[in-house]
Amino acid sequence: MVVSEVAKHSDRLGAMIAALPIVTILTLIWLHAEGQPASKISNHAFYTFWYVIPTLPMFLTFPYLHAKIGFWLSLLACIALTAACFTLLLLFMRRFGVNLL
C-alpha cells in the first residue's frame, strides 16, 4: 500500500521503494531470530540473488508491451517471459554445479 501511495506522487520514489529487498531483509532477520544456522541464512541470501536475475527482463519489457497491448496481456506476457528466463537460468546454472531447485 505504501508503494502505491508514494507512486501516485512520484514514479521514481515509488519504484525505488518497491525495489528495496524488504521481504528478504525481514526473512533474514527472522531466520536469525529463530536461531537458524548461519549456513541456512547464507543459503537463503544466495538463492534469492539467483531468483532475482530472471525477473529483470520483465521490468524492461513491461513498459514497452503495456503501451502496445495493454495491461493484462502485458502482464501475462511478462509472466511467461519470466518463467522462460527462469528455466534458462536453471539449465545454465546446472552446468556450473549450481542447482537452483
Tens digits of pLDDT across the chain (101 residues): 888 999 999 999 988 888 889 889 999 999 999 999 999 999 999 999 999 999 999 999 999 999 999 999 999 999 999 999 999 999 999 999 999 98
Domain that holds residue 12: 1-36
In this prediction the pTM is: 0.79
Cell of 77: 506476457
21 phi/psi in degrees, rounded to 5? -80, 55
Residues of 56-71 as b/e, b for ≥16 C-beta within 10 angstroms? eebeeebeebbeeeee
In this structure, the chain runs to a length of: 101
Could you tell me which of 95, 24, 32, 29 has the C-alpha nearest to residue 55?
24
Number of domains the chain contains: 2
Secondary structure (3-state) at 99: coil
61 shares its domain with 25? no
